[in-house]
């Protein structure tokens, strides 16, 4: 139970967080809407713009179908094989693409499937002269599957692993075959998680920027977000950028409305190897099929990651580390990441504290309940306006008053903070709710509140999820190319922008080395957060004696 002062401070913090996010999102959105009346109608509805919309939806639909469709046999195989050699490490491997900067993953795929990649070199050895091309729709789909197939596997595998062991014992005692097991047990479990997972993946693909920018290969394979970037960065055509931004917002809103009607995806992911005991799939054919599915998925993930490491080690890493341009980009990236992560922690903490203060009141007033709902929907509001669209709106707001380059660092920090906010809230809110249930009454009975409670009660327990949230937010910011692509310059260069510029100038050796360095830093931050989560989940509850299950991401 909170004191009146703690409830008041919580509501004040929530109001400050709400005002901050509303300012960063609504101000550029209003700027976009205000600029729209001055634009001719053909700027929105010409044939090229409609072709951009069609391609954006098409690549998102195909990417979702491929990611989910290819994940299903892998999920079924992993579910049937709880004792598969290296299963724990395979599940952990599937978490790597989720923590890897998109640009680095694209470089790894180019190293395998590009014109000079491993696959084309093998085909040349066989006497085949026509190389396989990665640029265009095929490359975009391949990259989306690389990043989203592991996500789909972990989400759907969680649904299978939640089934009790008694289910599999009963199916075995009834003599159910493979088809009956799939029809009556596995398919219903997958059906509960598949719509939410597919909706999440579709959203990620529909708002994809970096992969399309790197692998699109031309106007025929361009999405709305890339077209917005090109309209501002190369053509300097703000009216067209505004028209495309409004169209992107409309598309994103439709996707979010559709996703809200689907069952939510369980983003906690699959367990780290603690699957229930299975009694099916003992035949040779089933074992061969499952082993082949797991092996192919593992190889598909390992090859690009190995290409990143191999190509990066061939570069002169010491020379890259000592370059003035690298040091400047590294300092800039770390400063932006730390600022964005810290700001995300502060804003998310305000949201969590305000919602806890409202819940603490047995019968909150109607406006308080409404405010709590608005705070809960704040993360979805972030998803409604993608980073490139936010950058376009802020460009229109700032340009009449000052040089955009002067405020570019602050804008990049704000946009990266908004990108990380949904993840940070999801990490902090469950941890705070669990901690509050265990300590509120005891702290109130002892008269501990304010700074003393934070120092003695809250900080020792919450510092681990806070560190986890900060590490994830910093990793997302370090690997982001979207915001800096709009506002970057010679005086404002981040590590992803340095990698991309080296790629554009055909200095691929330097790009590979820089990509390896950036990838190691981001994965180290992600591993730090994951290790904190695993450690906290393994720790027993002293009061109840219960041991929480160790969950993956």
Model pLDDT for residues 406-432, shown as the tens digit of each residue: 899 999 999 999 988 888 888 888 888
Work out the pLDDT band at 298, boundaries 50, 70, 90. Answer: very high
According to the model, what pLDDT value does residue 545 have?
35
How is residue 115 annotated by DSSP?
T
d(CA 334, CA 113): 32
Judged by phi (left if over 0) then psi (alpha if -120 to 50, else beta), residue 269 lies in left
548: pLDDT confidence band, cut at 50, 70 and 90? Answer: very low
Tell the residue number behind the tokens 């053509």, with chain if given: 235
- Contacts with 310 (C-beta within 8 Å, 6 or more apart), sequence order: 111
Query: Residue 194 CB: number of other CB atoms within 10 A?
Result: 22
Whether the predicted pLDDT of 250 surpasses 80: yes
- pLDDT bin (cut points 50, 70, 90) of residue 263 is low
Mean pLDDT of 176-194: 84
| Rounded Cα distance, 117 and 110, in Å | 6
Window from 249-258, 268-277, 524-533 with minimum mean pLDDT: 268-277
Instruction: Report the share of the chain in percent with pLDDT over 90.
Output: 23
Instruction: Report which listed range, 32-36, 78-82, 258-262, is most confident.
Output: 78-82
Angle formed at CA 199 by CA 196 and CA 203, multiple of 5 degrees: 140
How far is the CA of 460 from the CAs of 100, 388, 457, 465, 531, in angstroms?
30, 39, 6, 11, 17
Q: Give the mean pLDDT of 172-196.
A: 83
Asked if residue 30 has pLDDT above 90, the reply is no
What's the pTM? 0.82
Q: What is the pLDDT of residues 321-373, one digit of tens each?
A: 999 999 999 999 999 999 999 999 999 999 988 888 887 776 767 777 788 77
Start-to-end CA distance of the chain, whole Å, equals 31
Collapsing DSSP states into helix, strand and coil, what is residue 207? coil
pLDDT at 551 over 50: no
Look at residue 2 in the predicted model and tell me its pLDDT: 67
């Amino acid at each position: 139970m909170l004191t009146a002062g703690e409830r008041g401070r919580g509501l004040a913090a929530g109001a400050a967080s709400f005002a901050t996010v509303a300012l960063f999102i609504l101000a550029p959105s209003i700027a976009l809407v205000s600029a729209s009346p001055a634009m001719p109608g053909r700027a929105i509805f010409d044939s090229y713009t409609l072709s951009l919309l069609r391609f954006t939806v098409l690549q998102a639909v195909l990417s979702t179908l491929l990611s989910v469709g290819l994940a299903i046999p892998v999920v079924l195989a992993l579910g049937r094989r709880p004792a598969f050699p290296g299963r724990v490490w395979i599940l952990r491997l599937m978490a790597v693409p989720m923590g890897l900067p998109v640009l680095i993953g694209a470089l790894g795929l180019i190293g395998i499937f590009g014109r000079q990649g491993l696959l084309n070199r093998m085909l040349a050895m066989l006497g085949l002269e026509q190389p396989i091309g990665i640029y265009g729709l095929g490359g975009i789909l391949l990259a989306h599957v690389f990043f989203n197939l592991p996500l789909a596997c972990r989400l759907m595998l969680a649904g299978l692993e939640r089934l009790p062991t008694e289910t599999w014992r009963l199916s075995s005692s009834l003599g159910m075959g493979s088809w009956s097991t799939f029809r009556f047990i596995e398919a219903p479990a997958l059906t509960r998680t598949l719509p939410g997972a597919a909706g999440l993946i579709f959203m990620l693909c529909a708002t994809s920027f970096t992969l399309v920018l790197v692998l699109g290969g031309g106007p025929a394979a361009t999405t709305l977000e890339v077209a917005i970037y090109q309209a501002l960065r190369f053509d300097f055509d703000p009216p067209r950028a505004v028209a495309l931004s409004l169209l992107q917002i409309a598309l994103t809103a439709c996707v979010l409305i559709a996703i809200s009607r689907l069952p939510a995806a369980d983003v906690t992911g699959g367990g780290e190897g603690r699957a229930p005991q299975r009694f099916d799939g003992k035949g040779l054919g089933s074992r061969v099929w499952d082993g082949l599915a797991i092996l192919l998925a593992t190889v598909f993930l390992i090859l690009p990651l190995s290409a990143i490491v191999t190509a990066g080690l061939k570069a002169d890493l010491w020379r890259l580390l000592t370059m003035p341009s690298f040091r400047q980009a590294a300092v800039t990236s770390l400063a932006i990441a730390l600022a964005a992560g810290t700001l995300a922690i502060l804003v998310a903490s305000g949201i969590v504290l305000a919602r806890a203060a409202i819940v603490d009141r047995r019968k909150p007033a109607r406006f308080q309940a409404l405010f709590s709902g608005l705070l809960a929907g704040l993360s979805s509001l972030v998803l409604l306006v993608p980073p490139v669209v936010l950058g376009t709106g802020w460009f229109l707001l700032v340009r009449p008053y000052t040089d955009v380059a002067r405020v570019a660092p602050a804008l990049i920090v704000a946009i990266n903070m908004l990108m990380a906010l949904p993840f940070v809230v999801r990490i902090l809110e469950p941890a705070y709710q669990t901690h509050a249930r265990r300590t509120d009454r005891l702290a109130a009975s002892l008269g501990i509140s304010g700074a003393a409670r934070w120092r003695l009660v809250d900080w020792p327990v919450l510092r681990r999820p806070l560190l986890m949230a900060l590490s994830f937010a910093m990793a997302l910011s370090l690997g982001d190319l979207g915001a800096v692509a709009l506002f970057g310059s010679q005086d404002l260069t981040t590590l992803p922008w340095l990698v991309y510029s080296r790629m554009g100038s055909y200095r691929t050796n330097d790009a590979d080395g820089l990509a390896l360095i950036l990838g190691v830093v981001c994965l180290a931050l992600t591993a730090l957060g994951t290790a904190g989560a695993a450690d906290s989940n393994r720790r027993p509850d002293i009061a109840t004696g219960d041991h929480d299950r160790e969950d993956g991401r």
